[in-house]
Amino acid sequence: MADYLIYHNPNCGTSRNALALLRERSIEPQIVEYLKTPPDEATLLALAQRMGQPLWHLLREKEPLCAELGLAPGACSEAELARTMVRHPVLINRPIVSGPLGVRLCRPFELAQEILPPA
């Protein structure tokens, strides 16, 4: 199993750039196309916890469905938000990179450098 994992959307330029950055550093991550295979609720909550952020930090607020569902910080519990994000993975912001040195939402993609070993 790879030391690094990326929740990836191949149609997203930022996600492609984050993957390219990992590969430039000779890291071949496990790639999870989260729109096809979304993480479960526990995984989403664990990712946010490892980031030291609330789950709301991983919500793709610009997604129109977010407004349609009335999702805003405080509108529901993190457990409810996790269930909603699993049902509608388009609500998960990307790319998320996880590795031995931590987890980052890599927007911009250069934030991945914070959890990569020194070059």
The residues assigned a catalytic role are 12
Contact 116, 25 (CB under 8 A): yes
Q: DSSP class of residue 84? A: H
Q: Is 25 exposed, middle or buried (0-12, 13-18, 19+ CB in 10 A)?
A: middle
Closest CA to 107 of 35, 67, 50, 59: 59
Query: Would you give the distance in Å from CA 44 to the centre of its chain?
Result: 8
Collapsing DSSP to helix, strand or coil, 17 comes out as helix
Collapsing DSSP to helix, strand or coil, 86 comes out as helix
Q: Which amino acid is at 35?
A: L
